[in-house]
A and B are shown apart, each in its own frame.
Chain A
Amino acid sequence: MQIIKDKQFISQLSEKINDPQQLSSWELFKMAYEVEKLSITTDFQGLQSLAHLPHMKFMNHQIKAAEQTIQEMNGRAILADEVGLGKTIEAGLILKEYMVRGLVRKALILVPASLVNQWVTELREKFFIPAVAYRKNYDWSQVDIMVSSIDTAKRMPHQEKIIDIDYDFLLIDEAHKLKNNKTKNYAFVQSLRKKYCLLLTATPIQNELMEIFNLVSILKPGHLGSSQSFMDRFGNKRSKLKEDTYLNKLVQKVMIRNTRNDTALNNTKRIIQTVWLDFCNTGKEAYAILEEKLAGVPHFARITYLRELCSSREACCFSLNKQQSSSNVLDALNKISDMPHHPKAEKLVEYLKGLNGEKAIVFTEYRATQIYLQWYLSKHGISSVPFRGGFKAGKKDWMRQLFKDRAQVLIATEAAGEGINLQFCHHVFNYDLPWNPMRLEQRIGRVHRYGQENDVKIYNFAIRNTIEEQIMNLLYEKIELFEKVIGDLDDILSELEIKNLDYEIKNIFTESVSAGERKIKLDNLMAVIESNAENMEKEA
């Protein structure tokens, strides 16, 4: 066994012991010893930082992920847990552990602009890590734990300064955006000097083997050879991942992926309820005009109008108005404006009032519906705040805070998405239904995630005898299938070389001539997904 001793020590001691100038007071000498005692790693296993974070209740998979990253992966890992299992918590714990062990002092945390403040807050409040959000004129070399967006960081003159710094720790959130090695972001990240490196993503490996190559190459430069030799050898087939044990092993060595199924999050349940509604007579007439009498309007556009009408008069009128006005269109518009309030809006108010002030999120696909609902709810004395993907980072934070402190309802359009945490709420209204049932998963994931303490109630609104009923029956009755494969869906889809499930489903709906054809095609799609899911299960 190699034992490495401190060879200079004894001569230093002999030299200094007779020079009172160089000697320490007993108090400081003792402190140096105590401080060492506080900092040592007493066990090969385990995390020291846990003792310093008694206020945190970590889940087992989070602690395990942190241990694995530190002990087995040397602090270079892709954290790829499913949405809502607390990747941020894992990353915070890892950073904290390294800091407590004295191994990290300088860290750079690159996250989407909309999440900068949330990261800073979480690191400060949960881990007492003095993280700082980049602001104009801050000095990159002076701030030890800096959180910034990648776009800010890669701009000149920042880039120049950042590249000169030796980071102990680099973290990239939403790292799947780095899968393409031709982008400026990729080149920038690869040029950073770092000791430890975490890449966070919920969708790690989608379609192409080269994406794995590119992510691994950030963590372990050169480990997979050059991109050319890799290409020559493996081509770009995902299936290689299974065939090549070395490749498979390597991916396991750098990636941690927990799914909902293997975590304790199963404790809180999801209670899903479909709420069936009917149009009033005027509504039915308006729907019939749109369905049957819009001559010269392409089929897919008609389907869009129908779905919009199921959401709100406003959403439908908004796009009809953009249509060349024919007599039919004017007819439809007249009918629609004769409609009393939308049955969904009325039902929503009824449900919200029954919640006894508990908070709720309402998801809609349409901006016009969002505006209408805000007005309609306020008319009924229900406070709400809007939320859109397009909001700037600061506004998103502000709206989230407003919702948390002041309002009962958050009305969100689809892209409310990435990373925003709303665990303090446990009612989700799907006011209208997206094509892709997986979108529901993303919506629900905002709420049913690490930190949620209640069962999550989900209400799916649908109007009878409309396209929504078809969507509901054809797609959502199979929601169980989707729930079963949530964790694997990405893998399954790429296996099937389906790049975009939304697009696939929309196509089936718009291009089928009859309801029967629709059903057959959809059943077919589901069957393929299901059989692949079974295959994967068997292999596992």
Chain B
Amino acid sequence: MELTNLLERYFTAHHCTEIDKTDEFMKVQLTEELDKTLMNRPFYWHYVKSTGAEGKPMTLTLITDHRSKGKGELIHFGSPRLQQIFSNLRKNERFTRQFQHVETNINTPLYPWLLVNFKLSYEGKQMREEMFSIGLQLVNGTMKTDMMELLEPLRLSLSIGDLCHTITPLIRIENGFARIEKLMQSYIDSQNHEWANQSLRTMKEEQDLLNHFIGSEENNEVFNKETEGIRKRYEPKIYMHIINSGIIHLQNNAI
């Protein structure tokens, strides 16, 4: 259900039309743009272009109930089509600039916020991830966590409304981002990192094992490769990924 919803939103946001939808499947007419993104047929589009003809985007049938006997692609968490859509979202939807939509008949100032959505990955022997959504007001320096949740009830759009105007930031984006990074850093420092010690112990065990079996053979290419592999797998590290980010212009006291 959650999935069907997500897919519908995705196709709607890309201006595709739904041809048919039941409890078992959904059939979507792709746009040219989405056909190029999803269907992996560059030669077709190249050919069509070279003949000057209008291309014909495909339709896509997604099976959402596995019991269905119909023809189409079985969609579920982890299925390749879904992974493709997810990774397209990750790749393409990284930056935005939004303006709060305000119903007003007087001049209304909108204050700039820097929004950064983070994912921290603690990686060693095992992996754990955490997400953060941080907002920093670029005039007075107010900081908010759970920014995405705070924005949820607001109406936002890519263009500024009538009678609204933006306030110029006093804090440069780069400096604002540095402040947010510092916050993340001190959050990381405040934690217990026993997982990292565990990982280092396992790393040593694995290395001992490797030494035992092939350590004695000098200049062994395999040995070096495996040692490098062990280091890569077990050396504890924290990735500070940025999922996406943007500038959001909000009315005073909007959040």
Contact = CB atoms under 8 A, between A and B. Distances in A.
Chains A and B bind each other: yes
Interface of A: 1-6, 9-10, 12-14, 16-17, 20, 22-45, 49, 52, 71-72, 74, 96, 98-102, 104-105, 124-125, 128-130, 144-145, 220-226, 229-230, 246, 249-250, 253
Interface of B: 6, 9-10, 13, 66, 73-74, 76-80, 83, 86-87, 89-90, 92-98, 117, 119, 122, 125-131, 133, 148, 156-158, 173-174, 177, 181, 185, 188, 193, 195-196, 208-210, 212-214, 217, 222-223, 225-226, 233, 235-247
B218 to A, nearest CB: 12
Nearest to B154: A26
B237 A3 contact: yes
Contacts of A23: 95-97, 158, 246
Contact of A32 (B74, B93, B209): B93
Given A2-B237, A44-B128, A249-B209, A29 B246 contact: yes
Contacts of A221: 222
Instruction: Report which residue of B74, B92, B97 has the largest number of chain A beta carbons within 10 angstroms of its beta carbon.
Output: B97
A44 B13 CA distance: 35
Contacts of B195: 44
Contacts of B214: 222-225, 229
B79 A12 contact: no
Nearest to A2: B237
Given A4-B237, A12-B95, A33 B117 contact: yes
A26 B188 contact: no
A44 B222 CA distance: 30
B97 A36 contact: no
Contacts, number: 202
A223 B208 CA distance: 12
Contacts of A4: 237-240
Given A1-B188, A49-B77, A130-B79, A6 B241 contact: yes
B156 A223 contact: no
Contact of B185 (A3, A44, A71, A128): A3
15 contacts: A4-B238, A6-B242, A9-B177, A13-B95, A17-B95, A24-B95, A25-B96, A31-B6, A32-B92, A32-B244, A52-B78, A72-B125, A99-B79, A128-B74, A229-B217
Contact of B193 (A1, A36, A38, A43): A1
Contacts of A42: 128-130
A446 B141 CA distance: 68
Contacts of A5: 181, 240
B174 A14 contact: yes
Contacts of B209: 246, 249-250, 253
Nearest to B117: A33
A204 to B, nearest CB: 19
B96 A35 contact: no
A96 B6 CA distance: 20
A43 B126 CA distance: 9
A124 B92 CA distance: 30
A246 B212 CA distance: 7
Given A17-B173, A52-B77, A130-B74, A31 B9 contact: yes
Instruction: Report which residue of B73, B233, B237, B244 has the largest number of chain A beta carbons within 10 angstroms of its beta carbon.
Output: B244
A81 to B, nearest CB: 23
B9 A27 contact: yes
Contacts of B76: 52, 128-130
A249 B247 CA distance: 54
Contacts of A43: 128
Nearest to A225: B214
A17 B236 contact: no
Contacts of B10: 28, 31
Contacts of B93: 24, 28-29, 31-32
Given A32-B90, A40-B129, A44-B127, A130 B73 contact: yes
Given A29-B96, A71-B125, A74-B233, A105 B245 contact: no
A483 B225 CA distance: 46
A302 B219 CA distance: 64
B104 to A, nearest CB: 20
Nearest to B196: A1
A55 B208 CA distance: 43
A3 B95 contact: no
Contacts of B95: 12-13, 16-17, 22-24
Nearest to B172: A14
Given A26-B158, A31-B10, A2 B235 contact: yes
Nearest to B233: A74
B82 to A, nearest CB: 9
Contacts of A250: 209, 213
A33 B238 contact: no
A40 B217 CA distance: 42
Contact of A223 (B9, B130, B181, B213): B213
Contact of B157 (A13, A26, A49): A26
Nearest to B65: A128
Contacts of A30: 148
Contacts of B158: 20, 23, 25-26
B90 A17 contact: no
Contacts of A41: 127-129
Contact of A13 (B188, B217, B245): B245
Given A29-B93, A128-B74, A105 B83 contact: yes
A17 B128 contact: no
A31 B193 CA distance: 32
B215 to A, nearest CB: 9
A98 to B, nearest CB: 8
A194 to B, nearest CB: 14
B244 A14 contact: no
Nearest to A74: B233
Nearest to A8: B242
A27 B13 contact: yes
B122 to A, nearest CB: 8
Nearest to A16: B95
Contact of A10 (B89, B177, B213, B225): B177
Contact of A3 (B156, B188, B226, B235): B188
A96 B80 CA distance: 11
A103 to B, nearest CB: 10
Contacts of B80: 105, 130, 144-145
Contact of B174 (A10, A33, A224): A10
